[in-house]
Copies of this chain bind each other. A is one copy, B any other.
Amino acid sequence: MIDQNTQRAEAHSFDEAMALQPQGSGRWQGLAHPGYQNMVGPFGGITAAQALKAVLLHPDRLGEPVSLTVNFAAAIDPALPFTIQAVPVRTNRSTQHWTLSMVQRDAMGEEPIVLTGTAVTAKRRTTWSAVDAVMPPVPAPQTLPRVPVVSHLEWLKRYDFRLCAGSLPVHWDDAEADSLTQLWMRDDPPRPIDFCSLTACADAFFPRVWLRRARMTPAGTVSMTVYIHVGTAELEASGTRYLLGQARAQSYFNGYFDQSAQLWNETGHLLATTHQIVYFKE
């Protein structure tokens, strides 16, 4: 465990990525973090986390996040700052509805949209609670080898992955298989999990179509939704320990497949369920 009271010499790269600059009126400026660079633009999970961060930073926010949907409308240029606008468009007694957009000003002074989204925050009350999606029986993360990063993709180096089932194919031989992956994950270096890093983890699975087909076709998330099933107290209890992620696809049809996933903490609390629809080329 990291002692949070210790002054650390270096900021965590995740915290650097979440450091948005207030521009007033619910607008924040940020920049893609080089440590989370993906194939084209930044890792989508970090972008989704930045969008949620804008909601969490908003002075008018009511409660904690319950639901987040982000739509990746265009590749984010890592060389240009972006502006996130978070607007609390409707505030009820216990829920608040947000719209989100991210733009990048280009050389022409235009501000094309690169992300759209919505979020719901809520003041939760203590109610009857239960987890129906029980954590599958898997080996403890400490007993599993860390997945070596053989890729040049920077963002993969920011995570410690321990695979239980459903690795990337060893042979890309078009041998069709199941789309299920189960893997432990945590930030590297370890960092206490929070709503933003949980959101990033929701996008940490490689494209299901690669596993399903043993074929590496270009793929990219179009829309991702995260439902959060914890409050701050339960997140804090998760500390810097691993999350177990489980992901599978249900349909692949003419260029788009879906992915449904769960994220549990080590004690088996279901922290989040998440869904996405992903473009694939062929």
Contact = CB atoms under 8 A, between A and B. Distances in A.
A143 interface: no
Contacts of A258: 227, 229, 273
A273 to B, nearest CB: 5
A253 B65 CA distance: 13
Chain A interface size band reads 35 or more
A89 B73 contact: yes
A277 B66 contact: yes
A140 to B, nearest CB: 23
Please give the count of copies of this chain that the complex contains: 2
Interface stretch (A1-9, A41-49, A122-130, A193-201): A122-130
Given A97-B73, A225-B275, A248-B132, A127 B231 contact: no
Interface in A248-282: 248-256, 258, 260, 262, 270, 273, 275, 277, 279-282
Nearest to A270: B251
Interface string A89-101: 1101011011101
Q: Which DSSP category, helix, strand, loop or mixed, fits chain A's interface?
A: strand
Contacts of A253: 124, 129, 229-230
A222 B132 contact: no
A71 interface: yes
Interface of A: 66-67, 69, 71, 73-74, 89-90, 92, 94-95, 97-99, 101, 112-114, 116-118, 120, 122, 124-133, 176, 178-179, 212-213, 222-223, 225, 227, 229-231, 248-256, 258, 260, 262, 270, 273, 275, 277, 279-282
